[in-house]
Amino acid sequence: MAAPKADIAYAEATLQSARNIGANEYAAVELERAKNKLQQAKAEMKEGNNESALRLAKESTAEGNLAQAKSEAGKAQASEKQMQQSYEMLKSQLK
């Protein structure tokens, strides 16, 4: 089996994308798991354990995708809360 360089590159891109959208704040656990799996994948590939490296790269990508989804959900909840507070403030001013 060939080295899973493309899968590792994709996992890296997914991890970076998760960081860019705020996963440090909203999905720190998933982000850390993705990072750890990616590091393990790179180590396995370096040792020539390409099957294991591929599995870990795919797991890292999955964790990165989960971190992205949780970040988007967290941002949406924060936005909803802010809008609700603004609505309540306006409502109280109109009384």
- At 79, is the secondary structure helix, strand, or coil? helix
Q: State pTM to two decimals.
A: 0.85
Q: Which of the four pLDDT bands, split at 50, 70 and 90, describes residue 91?
A: confident
Identify the residue whose tokens are 């354990």: 49
Identify the residue whose tokens are 């493309």: 6
Q: Amino acid identity of 79?
A: S
Quote the CA–CA distance of 8 and 45 in Å, as a whole number. Answer: 9
pLDDT per residue as tens digits for the range 23-75? 999 999 999 999 999 999 999 999 999 999 999 999 999 999 999 999 999 99
